[in-house]
Amino acid sequence: MWQNLRLRAVLIAGVSLAVVAAIGIGAANASVGSGSSRWVTGTAATGDVTQTYLTTGTISRQNTAVASFTANGTVTKVLVSVGDTVHAGQALAAVDSRTLTLAVLEAETSVARAELSLYNAQHPASANSATSAKSSKTTNSSLVTVSLDLTALNAAVKRMSDATTAEASSCDPIMAWATAETSGTTTPADGGATTAATPEPVTPASASDTPTTDQVKACATARAELGAANTNLTTLMAAINTSAGSSAGGGSSATKKTTTSKAAIASARATLLQAQQNLASAQSDLDAAELTAPISGTVGAVSLSKGASASSGSITIVGKGEAQVSVELPLKTRSAVTVGTSATVTPAGSLTSLSATITAINALETSGTSGATPTYTTTISVDDPDGLLASGAKATVSIPVVARTGVVTVPVSALTPTGTGTGTVLVLAARASTPTLTQVKTGAIGGGRAEITEGLTAGQVVVLADSTAAIPANASRSRTTTKTSSGSSTSSSGSGSSSSAAPAPQPTASASR
């Protein structure tokens, strides 16, 4: 009898536990599947995003380096002497940048003109819209009446006048700077005494005020517009003269049909590409007008002097075990960085990151990489006093290429890319149970955040994951299960993507309620 009572108690306890477990499971399922608790969410917020370029390079150790100019010109200043301590990227000397700046100006002007030519080739009607003139012949054969489009003529004259004013305003200060004397003294040809020169005052650019990149570009744009305005006015006057000649000869004016020429567009594009390449080369030469230290160390020798040719000498730096990492940068990344740009280097297999600086970028594309995907050999110098970077080993290099401040951002897990600069996010409105698929435009991506340039505002709630979504069947084969300390498991899938519009489930993400 006592055994029957004990057995009955065990059975009752087991049934009670099963009922409690079933109720708990049912409540959990109801909680997951009901309302907004289904969605793991985040919030669009205003913040900063820095996008980096990651690559791998080969390490070398440098104890001595010789720095010399790659740009031609006259040395205007030498900033170091033998025995000085310098760090990688520090300015050592400089050449006169006037000729190099003018070369950039010419290249910028060519690019602006090529862009205008391409636009005119793609829109022939707009290029010819102001060049029409009407003509008619009177009954008296000795008189010819030509009807002029005074509105178009006045507009062309005004455009020419405005372009002339704008070009003078943008370019005259640069021209004055470029032609100013580099020295305050002159030596007479007869060998007489040196006298002080009194150059005309230059405003706003003086002999020591180097034009900025924006000022050079503004001048180039103004020069291109002046040329376009002159061409427009000349073409209009030619059309008027042709119309008068046709009327005198008894001819009739015919309306010309404008058509888009594929050959003209292709030629204009080729011209623009060549102009852009010339600009990149000129800008590279201008960047090389300042000689920087390739490594940190002590100045061991200086064979450059002020007033000498840039090719007449060099500066030798005796290093202290400086490490260098050589990487290949694609053209798009190459144009986003300059000598002196900061970087981070992490040795292979290490969690320690070292601060670094780009100290050299090859102006010529690496052999064998020409065409649509050229690369440029870039040297990154690292202070490595502990010898973490072994010569010949590999290291990961991180270079910031885009920085955005005060922009709308979302967690990257909320974004589903649909193309270059575009994507979709699921937006969950207040008290809504179902999110809305929203098209957005994107910018920089980095640090787990994505810049949203269009489509969202700060404060909107976005979906990071659907907690009820099943793991895709094609991903279950390659997932790896890792036991946690509490006995639960987390799964990470390998390659494969889901066709669902909602982001993939992320059980470890925290929800913002």
List, for residues 97-149, the tens digit of each pLDDT value.
888 888 888 888 888 888 888 887 887 765 555 444 444 444 444 555 555 67
Torsion of CA 225, 230, 231, 236, to 10 degrees: 130
| Residue 371: pLDDT band with limits 50, 70, 90 | low
Residue 330, Cβ neighbours under 10 Å: how many? Answer: 14
CA distances from 376 to 48, 96, 276, 393 (A): 29, 26, 17, 20
Query: Distance between CA 182 and CA 254 in Å, rounded?
Result: 59
In order, the DSSP letters of 63-102 are EEEEE--SS-SBEEEE---TT-EE-TT-EEEEE--HHHHH
Torsion of CA 311, 313, 315, 316, to 10 degrees: 120
146 and 266 co-located in one domain: yes
Residue 158, domain member (yes or no): yes
144 and 212 co-located in one domain: yes
- Quote the Cα angle for 387-388-393, to 5°: 110
Phi, psi of 508 (to 5 degrees): -85, -10
User: Which residues have C-beta within 8 Å of that of residue 264, sequence separation ≥ 6?
Assistant: 121
161 and 235 co-located in one domain: yes
pTM: 0.42
Question: Looking at the predicted structure, is the pLDDT value of residue 54 above 60?
Answer: yes
Locate 440 and state its tokens.
């957005």
140 and 277 co-located in one domain: yes
Query: In this predicted model, which residue has the larger pLDDT, 274 or 206?
Result: 274
Q: How many CA atoms lie less than 13 Å away from 276 in the CB half-sphere? A: 11
Give residue for tokens 């990257």: 412
Question: Looking at the predicted structure, is the pLDDT value of residue 414 above 90?
Answer: yes
Torsion of CA 179, 184, 189, 192, to 10 degrees: 170
245 and 159 co-located in one domain: yes
List, for residues 303-359, the tens digit of each pLDDT value.
999 989 888 899 988 777 678 999 999 988 888 899 999 999 999 888 889 999 999
List, for residues 196-231, the tens digit of each pLDDT value.
333 343 333 444 577 887 888 888 888 888 888 888
Query: Distance between CA 67 and CA 297 in Å, rounded?
Result: 12
| Residue 250: pLDDT band with limits 50, 70, 90 | low
Domain that includes residue 459, residue range: 38-50+404-492
46 and 158 co-located in one domain: no
Quick one: which of 103, 120, 420, 102 has its CA closest to 272? 120
Query: Distance between CA 108 and CA 171 in Å, rounded?
Result: 13
Residue 454: predicted pLDDT: 93
Residue 74, domain member (yes or no): no
156 and 219 co-located in one domain: yes
Helix (H) or strand (E) holding 16: helix 2-33
43 and 107 co-located in one domain: no
Residue 181, Cβ neighbours under 10 Å: how many? Answer: 12
User: Which residues have C-beta within 8 Å of that of residue 210, sequence separation ≥ 6?
Assistant: 97, 101, 177
Domains held by the chain: number: 2
Residue 179: predicted pLDDT: 73
The rounded mean pLDDT for the chain is 74
Encoded amino acid at 305, one letter: S
CATH of the domain at 479: 2.40.420.20
130 and 239 co-located in one domain: yes
Contact 358, 399 (CB under 8 A): yes
Query: Distance between CA 285 and CA 98 in Å, rounded?
Result: 12
105 and 233 co-located in one domain: yes
Residue 245: predicted pLDDT: 59
What is the pLDDT averaged over residues 16-21? Answer: 40
Residue 6, domain member (yes or no): no
| Residue 248: pLDDT band with limits 50, 70, 90 | low
Residue 361, domain member (yes or no): no
Residue 301, domain member (yes or no): no
Residue 11, domain member (yes or no): no
150 and 43 co-located in one domain: no
Residue 192, domain member (yes or no): no
Query: Distance between CA 152 and CA 244 in Å, rounded?
Result: 17
131 and 239 co-located in one domain: yes
Residue 374, domain member (yes or no): no
Helix (H) or strand (E) holding 118: helix 98-122
Residue 187: predicted pLDDT: 37
Query: Distance between CA 258 and CA 312 in Å, rounded?
Result: 58
Query: Distance between CA 24 and CA 2 in Å, rounded?
Result: 33
